Structure 1
Amino acid sequence: MAALAQITGYNQANVVILHKSLADDFEKFCQANSGPLPLLYRSSPGEWKCPPLSLESDIRTDCPLYRRYENGTFAGSLANLESYSEQMKDMVTFYLGCSFSFENAVQKLGVPVRNVEQGRNVSMYKTAIPCHGVGKFSCNLVVTMRPIPQDKLDAAAIATHPMKQYHGAPVHIGSPDFLGIKDLQKTDYGDPVESQPGDVPVFWACGVTGVEAVISCKSPLAFTHSPGCMFITDVKNEDAPESDSGQTPLVVQISSDPLHYSLVSQRAADKIRALEKIIGVDPGDRGITNLLVKDELLKSSLSLSHAKSVLITTGFPTHFQHQPPEETDGPPGAVTMAAMLQALGKEVAIVTDERAIDMNRSIIEKAVEQGLFDHLVAIERAGRASDGNYYNARKINIKHLVDPIDDLFEAAQNIRGISTTGVGDGGNELGTGKVKELVKKHIPNGDTIACDVAADFTVIAGVSNWGGYAVSCALYLLNTCEIHERYLRRAVGFPRLSERESWVSSLPSVSKEEKLLEILVQHGVRSGKTGNLAMEVDGLPFFNTHSDMIQSLLNVTL
């Protein structure tokens, strides 16, 4: 074993020692939860040495401090395990990667490591995130927390992402509430570490999850290292293997209260930015390019990807002389988003005006459901102006046809943990209040029609349906992105990429959107700009305008 004075610069390992009868299941448990439990070496029964990690080692003496567990209960600390040599002949030692091994790599990119600066053990916490159980092993994830300056978050993710054998990229960045951690000053293992102004809590999966697994299996006898008292290997940090994924992680803030960042690969982010550019054209020459806010599609889609349940609202009764007064822009985009969100396992409900429920139930083929939601989406939904009325693009007041669903969005602004998205193409749609000053300046009749109700994210598109299609495509890109998918599941359990085929079938397609538009026309729903009862949206024919747009989005996505 390397002497303690030489710890800096050498990789370290967590240690779990179990009876051989439990070894196979524990190895499977590690494979099923590779983020917290990256397996570096499994010994043979009674093997004291660890040849791949250290030439001259003895697991009975090489950790500074050990813990003994009997029937899942902590039974005391030990300076060494030599007195248990006989029992250990039937025991297997697991060496698991440790986050101390990546601290040098982080520091090389100029990221301060506060626990090192303060001479403290790293902060460790039990979370409310369940690991994937195997056999008798069933426990929640344990994480380490390091406060990182906000402007160094990307560097911390980039440094640690390739180091999968030492927990890899962070599993959460931001408020500890998302992990079920109530107080960062109350650690479960290790020491509280003081943050500096501008620091953000960053959490990595932790090998002490193995200690919780040992407790859960209630083995008559088991040993672990004492958290922070690691097995020191002969492998230098710079020799750590790197990932060959070729993907660079990007940190994106998606909420300020509660503070929440997400991870995505640069490759996926670039594709989503390409989608945003494609839909940001102005076919009606209405000036909407002036309303575009960069990366709103990326941030909205990331927020939706993290959401568990989503409420979608649509409906713009611009044709007040007709029955129904709705237009063909909105419902197709709403249905497309709902299909992808449901395919990703989220609860989805669609809400509309009371007078239009029967029509929309028939179109959507699903009754409106009630529930609690953590993300609200409005797509081509009439939005309340500053005078309390609702206007179409021609400045005609249609308030008598619109139920005040805006109230939900305004209430959400004051409820912690609920995010909102508005998708629009003219600035009078619910959620576009975020860009209302630009609407007043650049859109005809903007002073009157501009929506006054803002959303957290405003996705502007040449036609609102295109925004819905782009959100669906962006969600597909995120959930097929290895970096984002791993971050979503906190690096526990197995990747969901096997579900890719069902996600592909939920993407918009020319044939599906053509059929949906036919259903709308059959229900008397008209084109927004012209009022025509025809295969068009906002006065643009389905072929070859909307069909080409759908194909362009799919070309980027697939």
Structure 2
Amino acid sequence: MFLAVRAARRSAGRCRGFWRSSVREEASRFSVEMQQTLPLNRLTPAELRLLIRQKDSRIGTTSGLAYGFQQANLLILPSRLANDFEDFCHRNPAPLPLLYRSKPGETSCPPLAGGADVRTDVSQYCVYEEGRLVKTISSLQSYSPLSSSPDVMSEMVSFYLGCSFGFEGKLKEAGVPVRNVEQGRNVSMYRTSISCIPAGAFHCHLVVTMRPVPAALLDTAVEVTHLNPLAHGAPVHIGDAALLGIQDLSKPDYGDQVDLQPGDVPVFWACGVTSIEAVLCSKPPLAFSHSPGHMFLTDIPDSPDSTIAASDITNTPRLKPSPELMPLCFPISQNPLLYSLASKAAVERIRQLEMIIGEDPGQRGIRALFVQDELLRSCLALSHSSSVAITTGFPTHYMHSPPDETDGPPGAIAIATMLLSLGKDVTLLTDRRAVEMTGAMVDEAVRTGVLKAAIPVVTFEGSGPEAAQNFLCHHGDTSKPRFDHLVAIERSGRAEDGNYYNMRGINIKHLVDPIDDLFIAARTISGVSTTGIGDGGNELGMGKVKQQVKSLMPMGEVVACDVPADFAITAGVSNWGGYAVACGLYLLHTCPSHRRYLRKGLGQEAAPTSEQLQDWSSCLPSVEKEETFLSTLVRLGIRSGKTGNLGMEVDGLTFHPTHSSLISRLLEATLGSAQIS
């Protein structure tokens, strides 16, 4: 039913009895003089519960108290609703980590705290009738009287849910400032626009806590909290509150305003006050809860071990979270501010992909343009996207018809088919001169199974920022972008002088539509990110590494693209960058840490279904699919970039063995050699 009690029931009864009696003896020795002289933050949970029971006026909110121990949210419901609420907890594990469910009428919680009484051991309770908060009280004893009056509590079930106060001590030990404690305030809590997964009678929006964290300490904060899943685990959002539907951080729905200091980033954890929202939305006839911030103090340690052992009295073998699943934090957008999470294991694999595509068999010196983790950040941003426009086409062979090269379209289609499999909307953006050819290319890719489904092919022929804004946004409204990510792969990029050059320094501007304007406009539109993939520095998006191109690449002063992308992926051949993006997206969507972050900790699904895995893996690039698509390009008259040959080669490198071998290596890094057919 729940991890804590399951582990506790395995412990020896004699040991448990000894521990309970020890707690009682400790409490009995706790003199009035000690209560008055010892600082509250030095007292044990048992001592603090005794003070709460005695209505000690010094104890209000419990943030900053009982460091080293878990704290718990409390919800008490009629027994007929208990199964529904337990199901609601299991469906929404991040906000509602279930520590213990009592029996009807049970006022103690043996696995969590010795000698505790749920009616008296919280400093302030809320009473709800038909979903309305009717009062706050300091005790529930009046609801289980000794007289002949009805004993309401005998028909109630208590739920103890993990609380983020349980990780504040570990944050402080790790050097992460806990701003709400520093400022002497309750933590800020906000109702979001994100719906929890309903169960039976229960439904509501997710509630989150916000703690400001210095940007340099984000990884530390993520690691510390990941190791404490009973206290909500790792954050569910890092960055702009508006992305959660929170309009004003200065106006929390619960708790107090907590001020950010210079260099702080707002970090949001799922919050157990979600259970109170469930009461407000679902309207049970009677319910009790803790008052937000006034938590129940348990005797469970706040260490990773407590995810298995209910308390330190058990001798249960203790399992620790896998280091490979430890999330790492990466910034992926400044407008709006957004960070994303991925496990160490996924990050290492994507970095391996990045090293593979950085090889330079054509000896073009592309390693000089390499920026670590551009592939990773682009994949993370694409993973958060919903609508992506992809553009390609480099008319380097201006003397031929068509003038395009075989580098670019295969990588674009590889990205597109993986995005489609992940449920994203995808549009292919091309030059007016190439519409018919691009449409034929897409149709053949669908027919041969290279592309998962048909995608729209569109053009942008306008000029200037206003035309670009109107194209990117519905009715030109920057609050309503049509696309949230633009990808350019082996796409001619505008140089400083406004012209477009191939690597031989020939101006091909007459063959190129001003799609660069879209990338320029995207920099001023909140929520639109851009990726550029190139192998020489004259491709759209490579303006991010313009200085390196100018100083290190042949004819760099002339051909260097002046238009940057947020992420500039460099590869020995641009197609390889497209293949790596597809593989990186697969790795992220099979990464538990990243999937949890995308879902905001909601949903029971721990891993993709077998059907999803089969679909995603079938949409990865493969030697067979890429060879088939290259054959299509050759039939359409598209030539190799470096040599102009009309044959099975890209950038002067034959498909076998160069490209086929690299594709196999990318698949092995993604799936493992045992899964490569």
Q: Indicate the residue corresponding to 1:384 in structure 2.
A: 494
Residue aligning to 2:626: 513
Of 650, 657, 661, the residue aligned with 1:537 is 650
Aligned residue for 1:383, secondary structure, equals: coil
Contact 1:161 1:169 in 2 (8 A): yes
Amino acid across the alignment from 1:134: A
Amino acid at match of 1:388: G
1:161 aligns with 2:226: yes
- CA deviation after TM superposition for structure 1 residue 364, in Å: 1.6
TM-score by length of 2: 0.80
* 75-84 vs 431-440, which moves further: 75-84
The percentage of aligned residue pairs carrying the same residue is 59
Unaligned runs of 5+ in 2: 1-45, 53-58, 60-64, 145-150, 308-318, 444-453, 459-470, 472-480, 672-677
Match of 1:234 in 2: 299
Task: Determine which structure has more spread, i.e. the larger CA radius of gyration.
Answer: 2
Deviation at 1:361, TM superposition (A): 1.5
SS across alignment from 1:544: helix
Residue in 1 aligned with 2:466? Answer: none
Q: Does 1:27 align with 2:86?
A: yes
How far off its partner does 1:500 sit?
2.3
How far off is 1:64 after superposition?
A: 1.0
1:136-155 alignment, distance < 5 Å: 136-155=201-220
Deviates more, 1:94-103 or 1:68-77: 68-77
- On the 8 A contact 2:359/2:572 being kept in 1, the answer is yes
Aligned partner of 1:240: which letter?
S
Q: CA deviation at 1:374?
A: 0.9
User: SS state of the match for residue 114, structure 2?
Assistant: coil
Whether 1:187 and 2:264 are equivalent positions in the alignment is: no
Bigger mean CA offset, 418-427 vs 363-372? 363-372
C-alpha contact 2:395 2:508 (8 A) present in aligned 1: yes
CA–CA distance in structure 2, aligned partners of residues 282 and 236 of structure 1: 53
Alignment of structure 1 residues 439-454 onto 2, 5 Å: 439-454=549-564
Aligned counterpart in structure 1 of residue 189 of structure 2, from 96, 100, 124: 124
Residue 351 of structure 1 corresponds to 429
Aligned to 1:38: 97
Partner of 2:503: 393
* Shift of residue 243, structure 1, vs aligned partner: 4.3
- Measured in 1, the distance between the counterparts of 2:142 and 2:613 equals 53
Tell me the distance in 1 between the aligned counterparts of 2:108 and 2:640.
Answer: 75
Q: Which residue of 1 aligns with 2:526?
A: 416
- Structure 1 residue 433: deviation in Å? 0.7
Give me the CA root mean square deviation.
1.5
Structure 1 residue runs of 5 or longer lacking an equivalent are none
Give the superposition deviation at 1:108.
1.3
User: Retained in 2: the 8 A contact 1:136–1:216?
Assistant: no
CA contact (8 A) 1:318 1:528 kept: yes
User: How far 1:294 moved relative to its partner?
Assistant: 1.3
Which residue matches 2:139?
80
| Counterpart selection for 2:457 from 368, 390, 411 | 368
Local SS of the residue matching 2:300: strand
Count of paired positions: 558
8 Å contact from structure 1 (residues 13, 95) kept in 2: yes
Q: What residue number does 1:197 align with?
A: 262
Which stretch shows the higher mean deviation, 73-82 or 398-407? 73-82
Superposition map of 1:489-528 within 5 A: 489-495=599-605, 497-498=608-609, 499-528=612-641
1:62 to 109, 121, 124: 121
Which residues in structure 2 correspond to 1:426-465 (within 5 Å)?
A: 426-465=536-575
Q: Tell me how far 1:376 sits from its aligned partner.
A: 0.6
Q: Aligned equivalents of 2:95 and 2:436: distance in 1? A: 50
Matched AA of 1:319 = H
- Are residue 282 (structure 1) and residue 282 (structure 2) matched? no
Q: Look up the SS of the partner of 1:282 in the other structure.
A: coil
Q: TM-score, normalised by structure 1?
A: 0.97
Q: Report the alpha carbon displacement of residue 245 of structure 1 after superposing the two structures with TM.
A: 2.5
Q: Secondary structure at the match of 2:646?
A: coil
Pairing of 1:240-319 with structure 2 (within 5 A): 240-241=306-307, 243-246=320-323, 247-319=325-397
Matched, 1:8 2:121: no
Aligned equivalents of 1:415, 1:33: Cα separation in 2 = 33
- Change in Cα spacing, 1:464 to 1:310, as seen in structure 2 (3 Å) is same
Pairs within 5 Å for 1:186-225: 186-225=251-290
Counterpart amino acid of 2:634? V
Range 441-450 or range 185-194, more displaced: 441-450
1:554 aligns with 2:620: no
Q: Is the 8 A contact 1:157 1:249 kept in 2?
A: yes
Task: Say whether the 8 Å CA contact 2:407–2:574 is kept in structure 1.
Answer: yes
Whole-Å separation in 1 of the counterparts to 2:514 and 2:438: 17
Equivalent residue, structure 2, for 1:336: 414
Contact 1:147 1:201 in 2 (8 A): yes
Classify the secondary structure of the residue corresponding to 2:255.
Answer: coil
How far apart, in 1, do the equivalents of 2:203 and 2:190 lie?
17
